[in-house]
Structure 1
Amino acid sequence: MPDNKSPWGPKGGSGGKKNPWGGAGKPDRARPGANDASPDLENVIEGFKSRVRAGGGGGGRRGGRPSGPIEKFGPFGLVAGAAAVFLVLSMFYTVDQTERAVVLRFGEYVRTEGPGLKFKLPSPVETKIVMETEVVQQEEIGDSRGQSLMLTGDENIVDIDFTVLWRIKDLNNFIFNVDETRNAVRAVGESAMREIVGKNELEKIITTDRLNITISVRDLMQKTLDEYAAGVEVVEVQLQKADPPEGEVVAAFRDVVNAAQDAETVVNQATAIQNDLIPRARGEAAQIIQDAEAYKGRVVAEAKGEAERFRLIYQEYKAAPVVTRQRMYLETIEQLYENSDKIVLDEQAGSGMVPYLPLNQLQQKQGAN
């Protein structure tokens, strides 16, 4: 009769429960004392299974609901998701107004992007290099003794400090064509300044030709950097200092500079006076000439008129001498007595009578006139 009190089920038969040690209803003879195991062993096994389920290895469900993302996708799924998010974020980037971006595909130049929101293939297929191209940068040259002392065209030495203002013109050339472009700008600036200074005299360098020298250095630098395809634009060259070597020579040259400036001031003042006096004198001369021309024209015209009048009178005189003489006499008398007080006495107006002349009234009228 089978023993139904056994914790492993009835012994024998195909319907019995399996022995936890691998036998089909038979005790494990390889493990001594297996039949003597305590019933608490089952609780231990169930507790172990519960801990395995809590750690993610127990079937992935609790109470019929899906467990957390780690239990759902596993650690490898989370890593893959994070990598996908990183790749998507690396495909978009922004470029500021003062910047430009160079896009590389497997390390080879593809394109240059301007300002705005941009798209590229995910890294590491395409990578970007963003740099400021619209910001003016400067290089101070001449801070050391070896850089500042230069030989002039008249075999003198001049101490020069200058500043080069530049910016990036082509980002692709700036990155790939020249190594250490900033140092290249410094070297080209110093070389160009030495070449230009070597073609000019010391006195002109420190006095009147400072602006011309900076313009020549800028043009020569730009030409050289363009030959190198450095992608750099030289904005301006500013000459900070141009002095002879220190010592008594400096004081002498400063006196020369001051004298030249004083001479230039005097010349400017004289030029201003000249510009004021000469136009005024020319205007007065032109006025005198015009007055003389007008007087000449008036006198000549009057003379011609009088000559023509005399000719006409002579012709009338030849035709009628008596009448002409009488007419000329009357016209002459009329002109003489036109503005004078006249008293006419008729010799036939009463003989034996004394004429009355108002002399007082005549004198008062003459005095008033």
Structure 2
Amino acid sequence: MAWNQPGNGNNNDRDPWKNQGGREQGPPDLDEAVKNLLAKLGFGGKKGGAGRSSGGSSGGLPTKGLGIIAVLALVVWFIAGFYTVKEAERGVVLRFGQYSDLVESGLHWRPVFIDSVETVDVSNVRQFQSDGFMLTQDENVVQVELDVQYRVVNPRDYLYAVEDADNSLQQATDSALRFVVGHSTMDEVLTVGRENVRAQTLELLETIIAPYQLGIQVVDVNLLPARPPEAVKDAFDDAIAAQEDEQRFIREAEAYAREIEPLARGQVRRLLQEAQAYREQTVLRAQGEVARFNELLPQYKAAPEVTRQRLYLETLERIYAENAKVFVDVEGSNNMMYLPLDKILEQQRNRPTQNRSNDSEAMMNSRSQSNSTSNQSSSQQSSSSGRVSDRSGGRG
């Protein structure tokens, strides 16, 4: 039955918050509860005869409490010593603030309050940009941007060789870039020499950071397109376009030269071969003529008139064989008749088939006219020969 239930009489006498002596009592005191707990663990107790009456048993209770606390503290200290290093990281172990060891990725343990571990990412490639307005060798100002990619290869040097390895690398990059740009012309930085500027900057940067032992390896540098100041940007764009046109024309000329040169060389070789053949042909022909005349010389000496007439006839035969024109020489007459056979043959080839009959008739008429002319010439020759014979007979 509850202490405050109706019908229980004097409920005030059953109030649990009041002491037996009749004094009112509030909520339990927290300090008193802590003292009681410590007393149970052996860190304190009640003063007076009760404490003295416990005798030797009071000394064992604190010792037992201290052992439990020590064990609990040791367990907590041991569990707190476990730590994990990620796959892309390496751990630098410091013992009392001094470098002790380098640990790989995985689960490790360290004594807390004795060793401390600082992890460094060594797998991922980091990058930053160095840019600014720089003065070139030909006293022009350009805005240059350089993208640098690097990674950590030595965590100990990266953390403790210098105060801030990343900042030191940025300063070294800016110094190397300004040095290379300052020893290059503006055209080289903007157009044709960009690759040389990039390579020289990378080489100089590696030389600068080597003595400092930053624990950093520069993977690559990339020179972004440089820009002139905005005030002269249009003029430089025109200059760059002109240089590009120049390079294009040069490539087109080289392609044309590669196309024409083999043809020209072939023509030269053909002309040389033709000249060589002509020379050999001329020399052989001359040698043949000399041999021929050497063979004819004894015959000419033996019969000069006959040999001369023979040479004359052979020459005329060779000339007329290569000529389409026909000449008829009538003996005893000063007239020489020309028969245009070449023209007649050419007309025959050019005219259609239905007109060839007319051409044949024309040829027959021309032949009859030539025959009549030859007959007249023969009669004149016979009459003249008769006169000559009469004259000769009269003379005789």
TM-score band w.r.t. shorter chain: 0.5 to 0.7
Shift of 1:176: 0.8
Is the 1:149–1:159 contact (alpha carbons within 8 Å) kept by the matching residues of 2? yes
Shift of 1:257: 0.5
Partner of 1:252: 235
Shift of 1:203: 2.1
Letter in 1 for 2:227: D
Letter in 2 for 1:79: A
Letter in 1 for 2:240: V
Partner of 1:211: 195
Partner of 1:262: 245
* CA distance 1:77–1:112, change in 2 (3 Å): closer
Give matches, 1:101-120, under 5 Å.
101-114=91-104, 116-117=105-106, 119=108
Is the 2:77–2:112 contact (alpha carbons within 8 Å) kept by the matching residues of 1? no
Distance of 2:190 and 2:235 partners within structure 1 = 12
Provide, for residues 45-72 of structure 1, a one-character-per-residue CA deviation record: whole Å limited to 9, x for no partner.
Answer: xxxxxxx99x9679xxxxxxxxxxx99x
Q: Which of 257, 261, 270 is residue 278 of structure 1 equivalent to?
A: 261
Give matches, 1:1-369, under 5 Å.
74-87=68-81, 89-90=82-83, 93-96=84-87, 98-114=88-104, 116-117=105-106, 119=108, 121-142=110-131, 148-247=132-231, 249-283=232-266, 285-286=268-269
* CA distance 1:173–1:279, change in 2 (3 Å): farther
* CA distance 1:252–1:126, change in 2 (3 Å): same
Shift of 1:223: 1.0
Provide, for residues 136-168 of structure 1, a one-character-per-residue CA deviation record: whole Å limited to 9, x for no partner.
Answer: 1111222xxxxx111111112112222211111
Is the 1:95–1:101 contact (alpha carbons within 8 Å) kept by the matching residues of 2? no
Shift of 1:266: 0.9
Shift of 1:291: 7.8
Provide, for residues 158-199 of structure 1, a one-character-per-residue CA deviation record: whole Å limited to 9, x for no partner.
Answer: 122222111112221111111122211221111111111111
Letter in 1 for 2:161: N
Report SS of the residue matched to 2:146. strand
Partner of 2:379: none
Q: TM-score, normalised by structure 2?
A: 0.50
Provide, for residues 239-265 of structure 1, a one-character-per-residue CA deviation record: whole Å limited to 9, x for no partner.
Answer: 224122111x21111110100001101
Provide, for residues 93-150 of structure 1, a one-character-per-residue CA deviation record: whole Å limited to 9, x for no partner.
Answer: 4441x32332323322233344x436564334333222111211111222xxxxx111
Distance of 2:249 and 2:176 partners within structure 1 = 36
Distance of 2:251 and 2:224 partners within structure 1 = 26
Shift of 1:290: 6.5
Is the 2:85–2:107 contact (alpha carbons within 8 Å) kept by the matching residues of 1? yes
* CA distance 1:279–1:120, change in 2 (3 Å): farther
Distance of 2:129 and 2:275 partners within structure 1 = 69
List runs of 5+ in structure 2 lacking aligned partners: 1-35, 43-63, 293-396
* CA distance 1:101–1:282, change in 2 (3 Å): farther
Distance of 1:74 and 1:86 partners within structure 2 = 18
Is the 1:139–1:165 contact (alpha carbons within 8 Å) kept by the matching residues of 2? yes
Letter in 2 for 1:78: L
Is the 2:80–2:112 contact (alpha carbons within 8 Å) kept by the matching residues of 1? no
Is the 2:89–2:123 contact (alpha carbons within 8 Å) kept by the matching residues of 1? yes
Distance of 1:298 and 1:74 partners within structure 2 = 125
Provide, for residues 289-338 of structure 1, a one-character-per-residue CA deviation record: whole Å limited to 9, x for no partner.
Answer: 56877x699979x99xx9xxx9xxxxxxxxxxxxxxxxxxxxxxxxxxxx
Aligned residues: 235
Is the 1:174–1:181 contact (alpha carbons within 8 Å) kept by the matching residues of 2? yes
* CA distance 1:284–1:124, change in 2 (3 Å): farther
Shift of 1:270: 1.1
Letter in 2 for 1:83: W
Output the aligned Cα RMSD: 3.9
Partner of 2:14: none
The structure where helix makes up a greater share of residues is: 2
Distance of 2:281 and 2:129 partners within structure 1 = 79
Partner of 1:359: none
Letter in 2 for 1:232: I
Is the 1:159–1:241 contact (alpha carbons within 8 Å) kept by the matching residues of 2? no
Shift of 1:74: 4.0
Work out which of the two has the higher radius of gyration on C-alpha atoms and give 1 or 2: 2
List runs of 5+ in structure 1 lacking aligned partners: 1-51, 59-69, 143-147, 311-369
Distance of 1:196 and 1:163 partners within structure 2 = 15
Letter in 1 for 2:186: L
Letter in 2 for 1:251: D
Letter in 2 for 1:136: V
Q: TM-score, normalised by structure 1?
A: 0.54
Report SS of the residue matched to 2:187. helix
Distance of 2:126 and 2:178 partners within structure 1 = 22
